[in-house]
Structure 1
Amino acid sequence: MKIRVVSSREEIFTLNPNERVVHLAFRPSNKDIFGLVETCPKIEVIQLPKSYMATVSKSIEMFLKMQRIELIEGDVWGHRKDINEYYTIPSSVTEKIKEMKTEGKSTEDIEAKVSRESKLNPGMVAYILTKESPA
Protein backbone atom coordinates (compact mmCIF):
# COMPACT_ATOMS: atom_id res chain seq x y z
CA MET A 1 0.00 0.00 0.00
CA LYS A 2 1.26 3.47 -0.86
CA ILE A 3 0.70 6.81 0.82
CA ARG A 4 1.10 9.91 -1.36
CA VAL A 5 3.19 12.46 0.53
CA VAL A 6 2.29 16.09 -0.20
CA SER A 7 4.74 18.65 1.14
CA SER A 8 3.22 21.92 -0.09
CA ARG A 9 -0.21 23.36 -0.85
CA GLU A 10 0.85 24.08 -4.45
CA GLU A 11 1.35 20.34 -4.94
CA ILE A 12 -2.31 19.52 -4.16
CA PHE A 13 -3.53 20.56 -7.59
CA THR A 14 -0.94 18.40 -9.39
CA LEU A 15 -2.07 15.16 -7.71
CA ASN A 16 -3.43 12.16 -9.56
CA PRO A 17 -7.25 12.21 -9.17
CA ASN A 18 -7.14 8.50 -8.23
CA GLU A 19 -5.15 9.03 -5.01
CA ARG A 20 -6.83 7.30 -2.06
CA VAL A 21 -4.41 7.86 0.84
CA VAL A 22 -2.60 11.19 1.24
CA HIS A 23 -0.20 12.41 3.95
CA LEU A 24 -0.04 16.21 4.25
CA ALA A 25 3.40 17.22 5.49
CA PHE A 26 2.35 20.85 5.97
CA ARG A 27 -0.29 22.57 8.11
CA PRO A 28 -3.36 22.62 5.82
CA SER A 29 -5.97 25.36 5.82
CA ASN A 30 -9.66 24.62 5.23
CA LYS A 31 -9.15 25.75 1.64
CA ASP A 32 -6.30 23.21 1.22
CA ILE A 33 -8.52 20.35 2.46
CA PHE A 34 -11.38 21.38 0.15
CA GLY A 35 -8.90 21.61 -2.74
CA LEU A 36 -7.54 18.16 -1.96
CA VAL A 37 -11.03 16.58 -1.86
CA GLU A 38 -11.91 18.34 -5.12
CA THR A 39 -8.66 17.28 -6.85
CA CYS A 40 -8.86 13.68 -5.59
CA PRO A 41 -12.54 12.64 -5.59
CA LYS A 42 -11.65 9.02 -4.65
CA ILE A 43 -9.70 10.00 -1.53
CA GLU A 44 -10.39 7.80 1.50
CA VAL A 45 -7.76 8.90 4.04
CA ILE A 46 -5.97 12.13 4.90
CA GLN A 47 -3.09 11.66 7.32
CA LEU A 48 -1.63 14.56 9.30
CA PRO A 49 1.22 14.78 11.81
CA LYS A 50 0.06 15.00 15.43
CA SER A 51 1.02 18.67 15.80
CA TYR A 52 -1.19 19.61 12.82
CA MET A 53 -4.20 17.54 13.92
CA ALA A 54 -4.95 19.98 16.75
CA THR A 55 -5.35 22.85 14.27
CA VAL A 56 -7.98 21.16 12.07
CA SER A 57 -11.30 22.97 12.42
CA LYS A 58 -14.47 21.24 13.59
CA SER A 59 -16.18 22.25 10.34
CA ILE A 60 -13.51 20.44 8.29
CA GLU A 61 -13.80 17.39 10.54
CA MET A 62 -17.57 17.38 9.92
CA PHE A 63 -17.09 17.91 6.17
CA LEU A 64 -14.67 14.97 5.95
CA LYS A 65 -17.03 12.77 7.98
CA MET A 66 -19.87 13.63 5.59
CA GLN A 67 -17.63 12.75 2.62
CA ARG A 68 -16.66 9.46 4.37
CA ILE A 69 -13.00 10.47 4.42
CA GLU A 70 -10.96 9.37 7.41
CA LEU A 71 -8.70 11.91 9.10
CA ILE A 72 -5.83 9.99 10.68
CA GLU A 73 -3.00 11.22 12.86
CA GLY A 74 0.42 9.89 11.93
CA ASP A 75 3.81 10.29 10.34
CA VAL A 76 5.74 8.72 7.49
CA TRP A 77 8.87 7.72 9.39
CA GLY A 78 12.16 8.10 7.56
CA HIS A 79 10.53 9.06 4.26
CA ARG A 80 12.55 11.24 1.89
CA LYS A 81 10.33 13.14 -0.53
CA ASP A 82 13.29 13.98 -2.77
CA ILE A 83 13.73 10.26 -3.52
CA ASN A 84 10.10 9.17 -3.87
CA GLU A 85 6.78 11.00 -3.63
CA TYR A 86 5.14 7.90 -2.17
CA TYR A 87 5.70 6.26 1.19
CA THR A 88 5.22 2.53 0.81
CA ILE A 89 3.91 0.54 3.72
CA PRO A 90 6.06 -2.61 3.75
CA SER A 91 4.29 -5.78 2.62
CA SER A 92 5.55 -7.40 5.83
CA VAL A 93 3.20 -5.07 7.75
CA THR A 94 0.15 -6.00 5.66
CA GLU A 95 1.12 -9.68 5.89
CA LYS A 96 1.40 -9.40 9.69
CA ILE A 97 -2.07 -7.82 9.82
CA LYS A 98 -3.55 -10.61 7.67
CA GLU A 99 -1.79 -13.28 9.72
CA MET A 100 -3.04 -11.88 13.04
CA LYS A 101 -6.57 -11.52 11.66
CA THR A 102 -6.50 -15.16 10.49
CA GLU A 103 -5.36 -16.18 13.99
CA GLY A 104 -8.52 -14.56 15.34
CA LYS A 105 -6.81 -11.69 17.17
CA SER A 106 -9.02 -8.73 18.10
CA THR A 107 -8.85 -5.52 16.10
CA GLU A 108 -7.47 -3.69 19.16
CA ASP A 109 -4.70 -6.27 19.63
CA ILE A 110 -3.73 -6.07 15.96
CA GLU A 111 -3.69 -2.25 16.00
CA ALA A 112 -1.60 -2.12 19.19
CA LYS A 113 0.97 -4.75 18.19
CA VAL A 114 1.42 -3.69 14.55
CA SER A 115 1.61 0.03 15.36
CA ARG A 116 4.20 -0.66 18.06
CA GLU A 117 6.34 -2.81 15.73
CA SER A 118 6.03 -0.75 12.54
CA LYS A 119 5.78 2.84 13.85
CA LEU A 120 2.48 3.17 12.00
CA ASN A 121 -0.31 5.00 13.79
CA PRO A 122 -3.10 2.71 15.11
CA GLY A 123 -5.57 4.62 12.91
CA MET A 124 -3.60 3.73 9.78
CA VAL A 125 -3.34 0.10 10.94
CA ALA A 126 -7.13 0.08 11.40
CA TYR A 127 -7.56 1.45 7.86
CA ILE A 128 -5.24 -1.21 6.41
CA LEU A 129 -7.12 -3.83 8.43
CA THR A 130 -10.44 -2.86 6.83
CA LYS A 131 -9.14 -2.27 3.28
CA GLU A 132 -6.31 -4.74 2.68
CA SER A 133 -7.11 -7.89 4.59
CA PRO A 134 -9.79 -10.44 3.74
CA ALA A 135 -12.88 -10.41 5.91
Structure 2
Amino acid sequence: MRIRVVSSREEIFTLNPNERIVHLAFRPSNKDIFGLIETCPKVEVIQLPKSYMRTVSRSIEMFLQMQRIQLLEGDVWGHRKDINEYFTISSSVIEKIKVMKAEGKDAEEIEKKVSRESKLNPAMVGYILSKETAV
Protein backbone atom coordinates (compact mmCIF):
# COMPACT_ATOMS: atom_id res chain seq x y z
CA MET A 1 0.00 0.00 0.00
CA ARG A 2 1.37 3.38 -0.98
CA ILE A 3 0.70 6.87 0.35
CA ARG A 4 1.34 9.72 -2.09
CA VAL A 5 3.24 12.48 -0.29
CA VAL A 6 2.45 16.00 -1.52
CA SER A 7 4.85 18.74 -0.39
CA SER A 8 3.33 21.82 -2.00
CA ARG A 9 0.06 23.15 -3.37
CA GLU A 10 1.54 23.38 -6.88
CA GLU A 11 2.10 19.63 -6.82
CA ILE A 12 -1.63 18.87 -6.38
CA PHE A 13 -2.46 19.47 -10.02
CA THR A 14 0.29 17.10 -11.24
CA LEU A 15 -1.02 14.09 -9.31
CA ASN A 16 -2.20 10.87 -10.89
CA PRO A 17 -6.04 10.88 -10.93
CA ASN A 18 -6.04 7.33 -9.50
CA GLU A 19 -4.41 8.24 -6.18
CA ARG A 20 -6.38 6.82 -3.24
CA ILE A 21 -4.31 7.85 -0.20
CA VAL A 22 -2.66 11.27 -0.07
CA HIS A 23 -0.53 12.81 2.70
CA LEU A 24 -0.39 16.61 2.56
CA ALA A 25 2.90 17.77 4.07
CA PHE A 26 1.85 21.44 4.00
CA ARG A 27 -0.98 23.40 5.63
CA PRO A 28 -3.80 23.12 3.06
CA SER A 29 -6.45 25.75 2.47
CA ASN A 30 -10.02 24.87 1.51
CA LYS A 31 -9.10 25.63 -2.08
CA ASP A 32 -6.20 23.14 -1.92
CA ILE A 33 -8.46 20.35 -0.67
CA PHE A 34 -11.09 21.08 -3.34
CA GLY A 35 -8.29 21.04 -5.94
CA LEU A 36 -7.05 17.69 -4.65
CA ILE A 37 -10.51 16.14 -4.87
CA GLU A 38 -10.99 17.56 -8.35
CA THR A 39 -7.59 16.24 -9.51
CA CYS A 40 -7.95 12.84 -7.78
CA PRO A 41 -11.64 11.86 -7.84
CA LYS A 42 -10.87 8.37 -6.45
CA VAL A 43 -9.16 9.66 -3.28
CA GLU A 44 -10.34 7.80 -0.16
CA VAL A 45 -8.01 9.19 2.53
CA ILE A 46 -6.35 12.54 3.11
CA GLN A 47 -3.73 12.45 5.86
CA LEU A 48 -2.41 15.56 7.60
CA PRO A 49 0.17 16.08 10.35
CA LYS A 50 -1.32 16.71 13.81
CA SER A 51 -0.45 20.41 13.82
CA TYR A 52 -2.28 20.96 10.52
CA MET A 53 -5.39 18.98 11.51
CA ARG A 54 -6.39 21.70 13.97
CA THR A 55 -6.52 24.28 11.18
CA VAL A 56 -8.93 22.39 8.90
CA SER A 57 -12.27 24.17 8.76
CA ARG A 58 -15.45 22.49 9.95
CA SER A 59 -17.03 23.02 6.53
CA ILE A 60 -14.21 21.06 4.84
CA GLU A 61 -14.58 18.26 7.40
CA MET A 62 -18.32 18.05 6.63
CA PHE A 63 -17.67 18.20 2.87
CA LEU A 64 -15.19 15.32 3.11
CA GLN A 65 -17.67 13.28 5.15
CA MET A 66 -20.32 13.80 2.47
CA GLN A 67 -17.81 12.67 -0.18
CA ARG A 68 -16.93 9.62 1.98
CA ILE A 69 -13.31 10.74 2.19
CA GLN A 70 -11.56 10.08 5.49
CA LEU A 71 -9.47 12.87 6.99
CA LEU A 72 -6.79 11.24 9.13
CA GLU A 73 -4.13 12.63 11.39
CA GLY A 74 -0.65 11.21 10.96
CA ASP A 75 2.90 11.50 9.72
CA VAL A 76 5.10 9.61 7.29
CA TRP A 77 8.04 8.95 9.61
CA GLY A 78 11.47 8.97 8.03
CA HIS A 79 10.20 9.57 4.50
CA ARG A 80 12.41 11.56 2.13
CA LYS A 81 10.46 13.14 -0.70
CA ASP A 82 13.61 13.77 -2.74
CA ILE A 83 14.16 9.99 -3.01
CA ASN A 84 10.59 8.78 -3.58
CA GLU A 85 7.26 10.55 -3.88
CA TYR A 86 5.48 7.62 -2.23
CA PHE A 87 5.62 6.35 1.35
CA THR A 88 5.15 2.59 1.24
CA ILE A 89 3.44 0.65 3.99
CA SER A 90 5.30 -2.65 4.00
CA SER A 91 3.52 -5.89 3.19
CA SER A 92 4.72 -7.30 6.53
CA VAL A 93 2.65 -4.66 8.37
CA ILE A 94 -0.41 -5.49 6.27
CA GLU A 95 0.18 -9.21 6.83
CA LYS A 96 0.46 -8.65 10.60
CA ILE A 97 -2.90 -6.85 10.54
CA LYS A 98 -4.48 -9.76 8.65
CA VAL A 99 -3.03 -12.34 11.06
CA MET A 100 -4.20 -10.44 14.14
CA LYS A 101 -7.67 -10.06 12.61
CA ALA A 102 -7.77 -13.82 11.86
CA GLU A 103 -6.78 -14.51 15.48
CA GLY A 104 -9.92 -12.67 16.55
CA LYS A 105 -8.28 -9.64 18.13
CA ASP A 106 -10.49 -6.56 18.31
CA ALA A 107 -9.82 -3.55 16.09
CA GLU A 108 -8.68 -1.28 18.93
CA GLU A 109 -6.06 -3.78 20.09
CA ILE A 110 -4.79 -4.27 16.53
CA GLU A 111 -4.56 -0.51 15.96
CA LYS A 112 -2.67 0.04 19.20
CA LYS A 113 -0.15 -2.77 18.74
CA VAL A 114 0.56 -2.25 15.02
CA SER A 115 0.85 1.53 15.33
CA ARG A 116 3.35 1.15 18.17
CA GLU A 117 5.48 -1.31 16.17
CA SER A 118 5.29 0.34 12.75
CA LYS A 119 5.04 4.06 13.65
CA LEU A 120 1.80 4.30 11.66
CA ASN A 121 -1.00 6.35 13.14
CA PRO A 122 -3.76 4.21 14.72
CA ALA A 123 -6.33 5.80 12.39
CA MET A 124 -4.29 4.68 9.35
CA VAL A 125 -4.04 1.16 10.80
CA GLY A 126 -7.84 1.25 11.22
CA TYR A 127 -8.23 2.26 7.58
CA ILE A 128 -5.97 -0.60 6.44
CA LEU A 129 -7.91 -2.96 8.69
CA SER A 130 -11.22 -1.90 7.14
CA LYS A 131 -9.81 -2.23 3.59
CA GLU A 132 -8.34 -5.68 4.28
CA THR A 133 -11.58 -7.01 5.76
CA ALA A 134 -13.51 -5.69 2.76
CA VAL A 135 -11.32 -7.66 0.35
TM-score (norm 1): 0.98
**What does residue 50 of structure 1 align with?**
50
Whole-Å separation in 2 of the counterparts to 1:123 and 1:90 = 17
Quick check: 1:94–1:133 contact (8 Å CA) kept in 2?
Answer: no
SS in structure 1 of the partner of residue 56 of structure 2: coil
SS in structure 2 of the partner of residue 10 of structure 1: helix
Whole-Å separation in 2 of the counterparts to 1:64 and 1:89 = 24
Number of residue pairs aligned between Structure 1 and Structure 2: 135
Distance change in 2, residues 1:134/1:61 (3 Å)? closer
Distance change in 2, residues 1:104/1:134 (3 Å)? farther
SS in structure 1 of the partner of residue 82 of structure 2: coil
Q: 2:106 is aligned with what amino acid?
A: S
Gaps of 5+ in 1: none
SS in structure 1 of the partner of residue 116 of structure 2: helix
SS in structure 1 of the partner of residue 110 of structure 2: helix
Deviation for aligned residue 1:92: 1.0
Whole-Å separation in 1 of the counterparts to 2:134 and 2:41 = 25
Flag as ranges the 4+ runs of structure 1 deviating above 2 A. 132-135
**What does residue 79 of structure 1 align with?**
79
Whole-Å separation in 2 of the counterparts to 1:29 and 1:95 = 36
**What does residue 92 of structure 1 align with?**
92
Whole-Å separation in 2 of the counterparts to 1:4 and 1:65 = 21
Whole-Å separation in 2 of the counterparts to 1:67 and 1:16 = 19
**What does residue 10 of structure 2 align with?**
10
Quick check: 1:24–1:48 contact (8 Å CA) kept in 2?
Answer: yes
Distance change in 2, residues 1:127/1:15 (3 Å)? same
SS in structure 2 of the partner of residue 72 of structure 1: strand
Deviation for aligned residue 1:132: 2.6
Deviation for aligned residue 1:134: 5.8
**What does residue 113 of structure 2 align with?**
113
Whole-Å separation in 1 of the counterparts to 2:134 and 2:44 = 18
Deviation for aligned residue 1:39: 0.4
Q: 1:100 is aligned with what amino acid?
A: M
- Paired-residue identity, %: 82
Whole-Å separation in 2 of the counterparts to 1:9 and 1:100 = 38
